[in-house]
Structure 1
Amino acid sequence: MTVPFLRHFGRAASLPLDNIDTDVIIPMQQLLSVPRSELGRCAFNALRYDEQGNQRGDFPLNTTKGRGASVIVAGRNFGCGSSREGAVYALAGLGVRVMVASSYGDIFYSNCLKNGILPIMLSQADLDSVHEAIAGSQEPVDAAIDLQAQRIALSTGLWFPFEIDPAHRQRLIDGTDEVALTLQAEDDIRRFEQGDRMARPWAQRADA
């Protein structure tokens, strides 16, 4: 089970970079050495920190406008590369609840849905407008996301609709994952197992 997602309101940060792969989101060496509960501090490690471990002042999530953002607006093909689910753990640990991009790595997109992060896809033109609105604002920009209405609205006054598969939307709203969906069919599974034992008693394990 994940935290149900219906609406979200939070700071939006513009990260207008294409092809950010999962190794950029969380390096493998940190994924292997850092507990899952602490992966947030390692997210975007090479982009957020310099070689001495100090925050880079020009990285969007380190600026006054972007610090504490729970909505990251990226570029094309976000989350490409390896299939590591730890990339989504790192984003969640950073406090990210919504990603916005024009396209995603397929496995990364699926991992977001499994872990309660909403991956919004906008057309390139709409995505460019969001980046421009955040960059052009003197004040931090907040975003309000309504999953039922499939709408993202910025505090600058701009808003955009977005599409999402109905089954994916319902899973996020319900806070369910594959295990929870399977358990919903527990009675059917039990009936099948009982019928199978009767029909094929020779196929059952001795210790079943």
Structure 2
Amino acid sequence: MSKSSIIEGIVAPLPIANLDTDQIMPKQFLRGIDKAGLDRGVLYDLRFDGQGHPREDFVLNQPEFAQAPIILGGANFGCGSSREHAVWGLQQFGVRAVIASSFGEIFYSNAMNNGLMLVTVSEEDLRRLFAEAASSPSPMHVRVDVEHLEVSSATGTARFALSDRHRRMFMDGLDMLGASLLHLSSIKAFASRWQAENPWLKDLASTARIRIDRLPDAP
């Protein structure tokens, strides 16, 4: 993950409330054992018809929105199952931020831990942004300032809330593992102290495995 505090670019409006992770990443794209190729599955049933032909009226199939780094979504975006693939797929598709008035809780955690910025604005600001997108003769341009927690467009600026941890992770380019490793010295100190206080539990699993391997085979 790269360090960043600004996300800006054109916005793809997707005014669908309760857009769940099954729609964002359908189940047939979860068969692989790695993250490769998940961009093909993003919003597949909205992007393609039953014969696999692109739906020309869908926003992300329109040339002017094809490379949009920001999605303007409806309330409760990302509800449903906990599949992290929905986040990975959106990132592979080129999406860097989603703006909505609310998000599914698990999706929110998955996104923020992977560096996909979720911007929670008020219902009033969301309606204003959708109205601007609908009336604009060209794709709307938005600037998300993570450091100052502001979303700016031609019609105004909206504030959004973000925890200090998630804000710092994004600005420093850290995923959850990287953020945890910042506390490595404290983690090691705790482990050493815990092992000193509970020596009989040190390497318990490996000790048990050795003892089991030494047992005679059953007749």
* Structure 2 length-normalised TM: 0.87
2:94 aligned with 1:95? yes
SS in 1 for 2:151: strand
Report if the CA contact (8 A) 1:11-1:71 is conserved: yes
1:85-123 deviation line (CA, Å, top 9, x unaligned): 000011101100010011110000111101111100111
> Which residue, out of 173, 190, 196, partners 1:192?
190
CA distance in 1, matches of 2:105, 2:3: 22
The amino acid across from 2:189 in the alignment is R
Inter-partner Cα distance in structure 2 for 1:139 and 1:191: 56
Q: What is the CA-CA distance between 1:78 and the residue it aligns to? A: 0.5
Pick from 180, 200, 206 the counterpart of residue 182 of structure 1: 180
Distance of aligned partners of 1:183 and 1:33 in 2 relative to their CA distance in 1, 3 Å threshold: closer
The structure-2 alpha-carbon separation of the partners of 1:29 and 1:199, relative to structure 1 and needing over 3 Å to count, comes to: same
Q: Using the TM superposition, give the Cα deviation of residue 28 of structure 1 relative to its aligned residue in structure 2, in angstroms.
A: 1.1
The Cα shift of 1:138 comes to 1.2
1:49-128 matches, within 5 Å, as: 49-128=48-127
Deviates more, 1:54-63 or 1:15-24: 54-63
Q: In the superposition, relative to structure 1, how do residues 34 and 41 fare at CA in structure 2: closer, same or farther (>3 Å)?
A: farther
**8 A Cα contact 1:5 1:116, kept in partner:** no
Residue 111 of structure 1 aligns with an amino acid whose one-letter code is: N
Structure ID, larger Rg:
2
Matched, 1:169 2:167: yes
How many residues end up aligned between the 2 structures? 206
- The aligned runs of 1:18-57 (5 Å cut-off) are 18-33=17-32, 36-57=35-56
RMSD across aligned positions (CA): 1.8
Residue 118 of structure 2 aligns to a residue whose secondary structure is strand
131-140 vs 13-22, greater mean Cα deviation:
131-140
Taking structure 1 as reference, are residues 96 and 131 closer, same or farther at Cα in structure 2, changes over 3 Å only?
Answer: same
CA distance in 1, matches of 2:89, 2:198: 47
- Cα shift at 1:35: 5.2
Unaligned stretches of 5+ in structure 1? none
TM-score, reference length from structure 1: 0.91
Higher RCO (Cα < 8 Å, 6 or more apart)? 1
Tell me the equivalent position of 1:137.
Answer: 136
